[in-house]
Amino acid sequence: MEFSLTSAAARNVRTGLTWSLLAAFAAIFVLVGVPGEAIAQSSTGAVSSAAEQYQADVAWLADDAREGRGLESPGLEKSGNWMAKQFEVIGLEPAGDDGYRDSFTAQIMIPDPDQADNPHGGERREVEAFNVVGRIPAGAANPLPGAIVVGAHYDHLGMGGQGSLEPDVAEIHNGADDNASGTAALLAVARELVGRRDELRRDVWFVAFSLEEKGLLGSSTFAREPTGGLEMDSVFAMLNMDMVGRLTDDKLQVLGGGSAEEWVELVTPLCEAAMLQCTIAGDGFGSSDQSSFFAAGVPVLHFFTGTHSEYHKPSDDADLINAEGGVRVAGLVSEVTVLTAGRETPLTYVEAKERQSQRMSFKVTLGIVPDYAGPSDGAPGLLLSGVRPEGPAGKAGLERGDIIVGMGDKEISSIEDYMMVLAETEPGSTMPVTVVRNDERVVLEVTFDD
Ligand SMILES: [Zn+2]
C-alpha cells in the first residue's frame, strides 16, 4: 500500500496502528484522492481518537507541501484556508471581517544581507496576510458580558533565513512544534467547547494568528482592530498556545501566570486534575501573541511545553510531536476557558514590572511597549501598544496609540531609530519627545530615571 503520509505517520503505522485503521485510512484515500489533502479533510471527520486527530492535524500543517508556512508563501495561504475550513466543519461562527478571514497589511523590514552591520540596512515593505477568526457564542442560561480569546499562530519560517537557528540552511522549516502543535490544539479546544456550549457563560473567540514570526504582526493587528464587533476592553482573558507539542514528564509551563492575581489559584487545581505539573508564573509579556493582548490590558496565559534543540530548525518535524501530550494540554486549556468564562468577578490585571534584562542592555528605559506592526497606514514612527504608568514615558504623559516621531533632535521613523537614541541616552537626562496623537503633533518632556 502506497501512502504519502509524512514519515511520522508511517512510523506510527509501523509501531502498531491496527491493520483495520490502515484499511480505514486507505479507504479515505480512495474516496478523496489527493494525499495530504485527504488526511486534512478526513481528520475533522472520522478519525477515531483525539490523539490521532491531533497528530493528523499537526502532520497536515507540518507537511512539506505547506512549505514551512512562510511569509507570503502559497503554503501559508493554504494553511489559513484550511484553518477556516476546519472552523466551519467544527461549527464555529465566522467572526473575521470576511467570513473567517481577518485580512491585514503590515510593514516589515526585509534585511539586506550585504548590510548586516547596519540596523537600517534593508528594505521596508508592506506585506499582506490574514488571521482566521471563529466564535462560539455563550450558550449558558445565565450569560455574562465579555469574551474569552483562545489563540495560536499558524505561520512559521518557510525556507528559513531570518529567525532560523540554521540561517544558512535553505530548507523547509515545517515548524511542527512551532506552531502546528498550538494550531492543532486550537482545533481540539474548539471541538471540545462546541460540544459544551451550554456551559459557556461568555462568548469564546478562536483566533489563528498569522505573521507571529515576523513580530507578532497578526495578534498586534487584531488587538488594535478586533473583528466581528469584539471590543478589546470586553476581552476578559486571552489564552495562547505556542509550542505545546513536546510534553515531557507531564511538565507544562503556564507563562503569564503573574498577569492576574487569581491565575495561580484558578489554574492549579485544573493542572492537578489533568495530572500536569504546571509552572504558573511570569508577567504577560513574552515572545508570543499573548503579549499583544497583555499590552492592551488583558490578563493572559501562554501554554508552553518548553524549548528543545529542534526549535527554529528544519528538524522541527511532526514525528517528534507528543500527540497525547498535545491533547492533554488542549484539554487543560478547555477547562481554563470554561472556568474563566464562568467567573462573575473580573480577573485582577497585574502590570508588568520593569525587566532587569532590558535595563542591562541600555542605560535607560522609556517604559513603553512598541507595536511591531507599526502605524497601520505605514507612516514612519514608532507606534506604542503599551505605556507603563510609572515609567518615564508614562510620567511624561505618553499614551497607548501614540506614534513617536522625534526624540531630542533625532527623527524617529522606526524601532531601530528609537533603539539608537536610547543607546546614547544618559540616566537622569531630559529630552523633548514628539508624538503624533489624533493626527496632531504633541511635544512632551521626558526625564529618564537616574
Ligand atoms: Zn511560535
DSSP states of 112-151: -GGGTT-TT-EEEEEEEEEEEEEEE---SSS--SSEEEEE
Asked if 127 and 72 count as a contact pair (C-beta separation under 8 A), the reply is: yes
Q: How far is the CA of 197 from the centre of ligand 1 (A)?
A: 29
Rounded average pLDDT over 386-408: 87
315 CA to centre of ligand 1 in angstroms: 15
In this model, does residue 41 exceed pLDDT 50? Answer: no
Least Cα distance to 383 among 402, 407, 405, 410 occurs for 402
Query: What local confidence, expressed as pLDDT, does residue 273 receive?
Result: 97
Q: Give the whole-angstrom CA distance, residue 364 versus residue 433.
A: 15
- Is the predicted pLDDT of residue 389 greater than 90, yes or no? no
Ligand 1 midpoint to CA 199 (Å): 30
And the C-alpha cell for 118?
547596519
CA nearest to 146, candidates 296, 342, 333, 294 = 342
Give me ligand 1 centre to Cα 153, in Å: 7
Half-sphere CA count of 58, side-chain side, radius 13 A: 35
Is residue 368 scored above 70 in pLDDT? yes
Residue 206 and residue 190: Cα distance in Å, rounded?
Answer: 7
pLDDT score of 122? 66
Residues within 5 A (CB) of ion ligand 1: 178-179, 242
Mean pLDDT, the chain, whole residue set: 86
Q: Which domains does the chain have, with CATH numbers?
A: 6-341 (3.40.630.10), 356-447 (2.30.42.10)
The angle formed by the CA atoms of residues 208, 211 and 217, to the nearest 5 degrees, is: 95
pLDDT at 13 over 80: no
What is the reported pTM? 0.76
Q: What is the pLDDT of residue 384?
A: 83
Q: What is the rounded end-to-end Cα distance, in angstroms, of the chain?
A: 72
> Is the pLDDT assigned to residue 252 strictly greater than 80?
yes
Residue 37 predicted with pLDDT over 70: no
State residue 417's pLDDT score.
Answer: 83
Ligand 1 centroid vs 288 CA: distance in angstroms?
A: 6
Query: Exposed e or buried b for every residue in 255-274, given b needs 16+ CB within 10 A?
Result: bbbbbbebbeebbeebbeeb
Of the CA atoms within 13 Å of residue 53, those in its CB half-sphere come to 24
CA of 395 relative to ligand 1 center, distance in Å: 34
Question: From ligand 1's centre to the CA of 175, what distance in Å?
Answer: 8
Mean of pLDDT values over 207-213: 96
Mean pLDDT of 330-335: 98
Q: Does pLDDT of 11 surpass 80?
A: no
Query: Which is more confidently placed, 194 or 438?
Result: 194
pLDDT of residue 361: 58
Percent of the chain whose predicted confidence (pLDDT) is above 70: 83
What is the spatial distance between Cα 283 and Cα 260, in angstroms, rounded to a whole number?
9
- pLDDT-derived band at 24 (thresholds 50, 70, 90) equals very low
